[in-house]
């Protein structure tokens, strides 16, 4: 008789957001590489009313290449019920209606493909792995009598912050917004230094979008997979392990999408040839993420340009135009001269390049790149760590201020440009977005010059190299992430019914 434990299946439900989706699929692939008895079905959701061409293109490429990937990985594109989204205008309402409608599709798939598949089915459903934003899908797992594991796409310290403020709200009736006019720093268990109130993420300050409440369901999971590694966030992970209200946490990262390094586009080849001619670690790379929030209006663009020119540093700058179409993805300028200071491109043509979007990992991997001015999205942080490139922090929203705090104050592989810069703040009385103040060219220049200091005493550069080695070692046989993958799979087997 065949051992059922040798033929088990996990159902992944990733969130339809690029940073979440790519790392979740990467985690599924990692598990399959390590566990030959496992198969994974990824149930894919596409958001149609708030289009994001990048993630839709990535999903389409995954499905098209399905025959070339692990045969034990099944990718299922769920149908979308557009009627369920009618009458919803704001983003939070749209996403709630979207997830509610998709939950029914997940249930239907599991009923038709798993429950009614007959006795000939060789694989046994062992549980669901749902994104941190898809906690409502835990209801479907309960209907099938299987456990749920949560995939947390942010870092372990941010997971602790998320759980901490949910607990304050539920157990003590304290809202994070109450701290705004009190002490400037807070003691949050997963950070070993006092955390500045001004860096608190919007989802704990404004609870109307329901993101904070996902933490309540996270506590009910059998385990939490986090895209991090132990040596990077040892204090946070040890803190979480001591809290008996928190499920077992499995840091299995860094999970990265490095496909761009193997197959880059012709436009990237031209930039790479330019980088080949630059001295090692001499180029500062500026990129503020792939979403529309990572773009600046013309006055701020000019300040960045002035800073680069005055610094005298070689640079590679990803510059894109704010979208006016409602898309989550910014557009490109037909001519960069329309937004840059007059004569900037001509004056800097020997030391710099201004480009449209390209595969970030391609450039971070290049030995000429010695610094990264970043919005500090968690995936960008992990990519920078993987390649040992120090960061100048310029966060925009959500978890990014907290990530910047970790990088500068706790890990020590970054310098600060404007850690408290926020694009997602709103006036508490009017709910009108608060436009952040322009960061001056002087502030930016100081940050870039400090970042690119190549002296032997540059602690930030040395630390980046140390953390790079830690990240590589974590995934090697016997490394911390390698071992946590084993521990997670043992948890799955233990919870089989």
Q: Which of 20, 162, 164, 336 is flagged as catalytic?
A: 20
List the catalytic residue out of 52, 131, 206, 416. 131
- As given in the structure block, the two tokens for residue 230 are 């132990």
The number of beta carbons lying within 10 Å of the beta carbon of residue 56 is 16
Is 427 a residue of the active site?
Answer: no
CA distance 17 to 123: 29
- C-alpha torsion 326→329→330→332, nearest 10: -120
- Listed in sequence order, the DSSP H helices in 312-364 are 344-347, 360-364
131 is catalytic: yes
Quick one: which H or E segment has residue 24?
A: helix 18-34
CB 345 within 8 A of CB 354: yes
CB 421 within 8 A of CB 403: no
Cα 347 → chain centroid: 36
Q: Which residues, in sequence order, are bridge partners of residue 149?
A: 129, 223
**Rounded Cα distance, 10 and 105, in Å:** 17
Cβ neighbours of 231 (radius 10 Å)? 18
* Cα–Cα distance measured from residue 229 to residue 484, given in angstroms and rounded to the nearest whole number: 9
Query: Are residues 46 and 76 in contact, defined by beta-carbon separation less than 8 angstroms?
Result: no
Torsion of CA 441, 369, 418, 336, to 10 degrees: 50
Distances in Å between the Cα of 139 and the Cα atoms of 2, 186, 196, 208, 220 are 30, 34, 36, 22, 11
The catalytic residue positions are 20, 131
């Amino acid at each position: 008789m065949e051992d059922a434990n040798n033929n088990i299946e996990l159902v992944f439900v990733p969130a339809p957001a690029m940073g979440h989706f790519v790392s979740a699929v990467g985690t599924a692939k990692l598990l399959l590489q390590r566990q030959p008895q496992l198969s994974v079905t990824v149930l894919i959701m596409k958001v149609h009313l708030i289009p994001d061409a990048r993630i839709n293109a990535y999903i389409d490429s995954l499905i098209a290449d399905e025959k070339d990937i692990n045969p034990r990985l099944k990718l299922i594109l769920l149908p979308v019920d557009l009627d369920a989204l009618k009458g919803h205008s704001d983003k939070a309402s749209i996403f709630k209606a979207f997830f509610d409608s998709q939950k029914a599709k997940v249930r239907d798939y599991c009923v038709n493909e798993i429950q009614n598949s007959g006795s000939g089915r060789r694989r046994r459903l062992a549980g669901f792995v749902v994104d941190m934003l898809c906690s409502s899908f835990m209801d479907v797992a309960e209907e099938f009598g299987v456990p749920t594991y949560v995939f947390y796409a942010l870092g372990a310290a941010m997971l602790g912050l998320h759980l901490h403020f949910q607990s304050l709200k539920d157990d003590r009736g304290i809202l994070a917004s109450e701290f705004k006019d009190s002490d400037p720093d807070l003691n949050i268990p997963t950070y070993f230094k006092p955390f500045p109130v001004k860096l608190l993420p919007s989802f704990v300050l404004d609870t109307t979008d329901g993101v904070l409440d996902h933490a309540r369901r996270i506590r009910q999971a059998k385990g939490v997979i986090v895209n991090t590694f132990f040596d990077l966030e040892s204090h946070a992970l040890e803190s979480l392990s001591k809290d008996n209200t928190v499920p077992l946490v499995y840091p299995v990262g860094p999970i990265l999408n490095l496909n761009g390094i193997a197959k880059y586009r012709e436009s990237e080849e031209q930039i790479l040839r330019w980088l080949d001619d630059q001295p090692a670690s001499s180029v500062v790379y500026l990129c503020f993420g792939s979403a529309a929030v990572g773009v600046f209006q013309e006055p701020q663009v000019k300040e960045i340009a002035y800073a680069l020119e005055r610094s005298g540093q070689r640079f590679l700058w990803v510059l894109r135009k704010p979208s006016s179409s409602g898309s989550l993805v910014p557009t490109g300028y037909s001519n960069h001269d329309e937004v840059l200071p007059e004569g900037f491109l001509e004056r800097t043509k020997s030391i710099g390049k201004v480009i449209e979007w390209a595969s970030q990992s391609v450039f971070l991997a290049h030995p000429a790149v010695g610094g990264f001015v970043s919005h500090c999205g968690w995936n960008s942080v992990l990519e920078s760590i993987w390649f040992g490139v120090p960061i100048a922090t310029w966060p925009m929203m959500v978890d990014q201020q907290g990530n910047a705090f970790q990088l500068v104050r706790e890990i020590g592989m970054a310098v600060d440009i404007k850690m408290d810069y926020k694009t997602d703040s709103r006036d508490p009385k009017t709910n009108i977005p608060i436009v952040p103040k322009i960061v001056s060219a002087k502030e930016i220049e100081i940050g870039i010059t400090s970042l690119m200091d190549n002296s032997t005493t540059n602690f930030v550069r040395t630390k980046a190299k140390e953390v790079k080695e830690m990240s590589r070692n974590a995934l090697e046989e016997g490394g911390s992430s390698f071992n946590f993958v084993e521990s997670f799979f043992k948890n799955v087997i233990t919870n089989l019914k």
